Amino acid sequence: MEADRRSPTRMLLNGNQALSLGFLAAGCSFFAGYPITPASDVMEFLAVQLPRVGGVLIQAEDEIASLGMVLGASYTGARAMTATSGPGLSLMVEMLGLASMAEIPCVILDVQRAGPSTGLPTRHEQSDLFLAAVGGHGDSQRLVLAPTSVADCFDQAVNAFNLAERYQVPVLVLSDTVLASRMTDFERPDLAKIPRWERLTARPTDPDFERYQITESGVSPMSLPGTPFGQYVATGLEHNPRGLPRYDAANHAAMSDKRFRKFSKAALDAPEPFRQGDPDSELGLLTWGSTTGAVASALQELELRGVRMEMLAPRMLWPLPDHQIGEFLERKKRVAVVECNRTGQMATLVASRYNHPHGLGRINVYGGAPFRQAELIQKIEEWCQHVR
């Protein structure tokens, strides 16, 4: 990290550094993690910076322990997080379920690499979306964000903590190798203007405090350890509003509905998407993450060639924000999804929710490298010729 020599108001950062600063600006006070490429830079950065703001960082014995420590810290009221890559996120899945069931806020950064298994540790791919959005046992819930640029890494780090605290859920941030290592200069953020959303806390007045009270929003007040009358069990077992284990069908249905109500609300708080192009055109491109920059550049070149299109890159990928993605699809006759994986993971999630009359085109690259502009332009032109 260094100041841009041309202006004291600008910074020259890579994506991992921008994310780290965003987490600090959001109030992160606890980090537990295990080194893994290409996410290790985040832990190394925070190991130096967190103690300077009164925070704590622990290198755990593995990724399972890392997220366990994060949940313990968050249970006490800390803004807590971990960072990993795909293989490490796989190990965290059971703890993600605990965070969902016990309604404990936390942030997990996944700096994606090419996979599966240990895959290509230093190569690029956007192939952890299925795992991040729906990977897990039972009907677990989590939010998934994806920054679209190095500068946006800072903003989405802040959004991740705010959403986690407001809705008492795990929030995953999907970065990747390209964003992690790319250096960009951008305007220093005004720390006084950074929004901060706090978790809903309680000061109970009687011993019958209901930590998991069923509410219209799905969010119930959370007491912190040591609060008089606020003690409760944060269990992974299904429980009643007081936190006591209950296995009957009616209770499980009611508590599942409570937890899922939070997600319809959270989708309305989705960060604004990246948009570019002609909103009146019949053709649309849908993309996400670091591929946004490549699509935006290709769109500019295509416009010079007389091709009218509009692109959308949502920054919340799960749950799918209907007021952004659904609205975009309704306005377009033909839409293609551009992403760096073989299976078309975003295209599959979008198609499972929205019944677009002509289906979704898929433009993919999956060799361990990002799209080259000339290659992407060629693929888009071929798709345009096919649908006309």
Mean pLDDT of 201-208: 92
Flag whether 255 is in a domain: no
Judgement on whether residues 173 and 318 belong to the same structural domain of the protein: no
332 touches 325 (CB < 8 A): no
pLDDT at residue 3 tops 80: no
Residue 150 C-alpha from the chain's centroid: 15
Q: Which amino acid is at 60?
A: A
pLDDT recorded at residue 7: 61
What is the β-pairing status of strands 143-145 and 316-318? antiparallel
Flag whether 75 is in a domain: yes
pLDDT at residue 5 tops 90: no
Burial of residue 287 (number of CB atoms within 10 Å: 0-12, 13-18, 19+): buried
Q: Determine the structural domain holding residue 129 and report its residue range.
A: 2-193
Q: What mean pLDDT, rounded, does the chain reach?
A: 95
357-381 residue pLDDT tens = 999 999 999 999 999 999 999 999 9
Q: Which amino acid is at 153?
A: C
pLDDT recorded at residue 388: 75
Distance CA 349, CA 124 (A): 21
73 touches 79 (CB < 8 A): no
172-182 residue pLDDT tens = 999 999 999 99
List the beta bridge partners of residue 174.
Answer: 110
pLDDT at residue 259 tops 60: yes
Tell me the three state secondary structure of residue 231.
coil
Judgement on whether residues 45 and 139 belong to the same structural domain of the protein: yes
Domain termination residue (choose one: 165, 193, 221): 193
pLDDT recorded at residue 252: 97
Q: Which amino acid is at 100?
A: S
Distance CA 154, CA 282 (A): 33
Q: Which amino acid is at 137?
A: H
Q: Token match 């987490």: residue?
A: 23
Handedness of CA 278, 284, 288, 290 (dihedral sign): negative
**For helices 40-49 and 15-25, what crossing angle results, to 10°?**
40
pLDDT at residue 266 tops 50: yes
Mean pLDDT of 59-80: 98
Tell me the three state secondary structure of residue 121.
coil
pLDDT at residue 297 tops 60: yes
The count of domains in the chain is 2
Mean pLDDT of 154-163: 98
Distance CA 205, CA 222 (A): 14
Judgement on whether residues 301 and 181 belong to the same structural domain of the protein: no
Mean pLDDT of 152-161: 98
19-60 residue pLDDT tens = 999 999 999 999 999 999 999 999 999 999 999 999 999 999
Under the banding of pLDDT at 50, 70 and 90, the label for residue 156 is very high
Judgement on whether residues 185 and 278 belong to the same structural domain of the protein: no
CATH (domain of 188): 3.40.50.970
Judgement on whether residues 160 and 292 belong to the same structural domain of the protein: no
113 touches 119 (CB < 8 A): yes
Distance CA 114, CA 90 (A): 14
Flag whether 200 is in a domain: no
Judgement on whether residues 166 and 304 belong to the same structural domain of the protein: no
- Output phi, psi for 17, to 5 deg: -70, -40
Q: Which of 164, 114, 167, 172 lies closest to 147 in space, CA to CA? A: 172
Q: How many CA atoms lie within 13 A of 328 on its CB side?
A: 27
Contacts of 226 (CB under 8 A, 6+ apart): none
- The percentage of the chain sitting over the pLDDT mark of 90, rounded to a whole number, equals 94
Burial of residue 10 (number of CB atoms within 10 Å: 0-12, 13-18, 19+): middle
pLDDT recorded at residue 6: 53
Flag whether 380 is in a domain: yes
Judgement on whether residues 182 and 285 belong to the same structural domain of the protein: no
Flag whether 89 is in a domain: yes
Flag whether 122 is in a domain: yes
Flag whether 265 is in a domain: no
The enclosing H or E element of 170 equals: strand 170-176
Judgement on whether residues 185 and 286 belong to the same structural domain of the protein: no
pLDDT at residue 17 tops 70: yes
Flag whether 208 is in a domain: no
Domain termination residue (choose one: 193, 211, 244): 193
> Which ranges of the chain does DSSP label H, i.e. alpha helix?
15-25, 40-49, 63-75, 86-91, 93-102, 129-134, 150-167, 177-181, 249-268, 291-304, 327-331, 345-353, 373-387
CATH (domain of 330): 3.40.50.920
Q: Which two tokens stand for residue 285?
A: 């491109």
236 touches 96 (CB < 8 A): no
Distance CA 342, CA 111 (A): 18
pLDDT at residue 4 tops 70: no
* DSSP code string of 264-310: HHHHHTPPPPEEEE-TT-SEEEEE-TTHHHHHHHHHHHHHHTT---E
210-221 residue pLDDT tens = 999 999 999 999
Domain termination residue (choose one: 193, 212, 241): 193
pLDDT recorded at residue 96: 97
pLDDT recorded at residue 9: 84
